[in-house]
Amino acid sequence: MLIYLALIETESDKQKFIEIYDKYRFTMLHVAMGILEDQSMGEDAVHNAFLKVIKHLDKLEDVSCRKTKSWLVIIVKNCAIDLLRKEKSLRKEPFENEEFKMESLQPSPIEQLISKEGYNLLLESMANLDEIYKTVFELKYVHGYSISSIASMLDISYDTASQRLWRARKQLRVYLETEGIQYE
């Protein structure tokens, strides 16, 4: 924590960061671990996310609002994805060793590409959602939270969370249909 505080100039920003750190560090680690499935890499992602948060502390007004939490989750998710991409690019083996590999249970390159394209399409489509629907949709389908957990996190009723999720799916369906993409 001292490393982060050394990077912050004003006392009010230091206090704000301490509140953010205390309140959200475990949530951020949970999100990073869900993507990376490795404790040390998850901690690296959270560290990188906090460094980015420090750069934008002046834009945060209310530490406890749901937009702050959603913003932090998005930042740590992106940091985790960046780490995952970096690790995958470092793990590539030379072409010479390819012929000696045993067939694995991993998806084929085509299946991986389709999955990646689907994920990228989902992210692109989510950008078109209204903010209140995007938050619920992301927590449900990207982070895997239950509707009950989402309702609790956002301090809304179960019915409201469920309704927002339904509306998010409806908006996505309309967007995908206008783009000429089959939605199932």
Residues 46-77: tens digit of each pLDDT: 999 988 888 888 888 888 888 888 888 998 99
pLDDT digits (tens, 9 = 90+) for 10-35: 788 888 888 989 999 999 999 998 88
If pLDDT is split at 50, 70 and 90, which confidence band does 95 have?
Answer: very low
Is the confidence at residue 163, as pLDDT, over 90?
A: yes
- Which domains are assigned to the chain? 1-92 (1.10.1740.10), 107-184 (1.10.10.10)
Beta strands in 16-145 (DSSP E): none
Is the confidence at residue 154, as pLDDT, over 90?
A: no
Q: What is d(CA 1, CA 144) in angstroms, rounded to the nearest whole number? A: 29
Structure tokens given for 12: 């009010």
If pLDDT is split at 50, 70 and 90, which confidence band does 125 have?
Answer: confident
Q: What is the mean pLDDT of residues 92-118?
A: 52
pTM more than 0.75? no
Structure tokens given for 71: 């913003």
Q: Which residues lie closer than 8 Å to 32 by C-beta, 6 or more apart?
A: 41, 42, 43, 45, 46, 49, 76, 77, 79, 80
Q: For position 159, what pLDDT does the model report?
A: 92
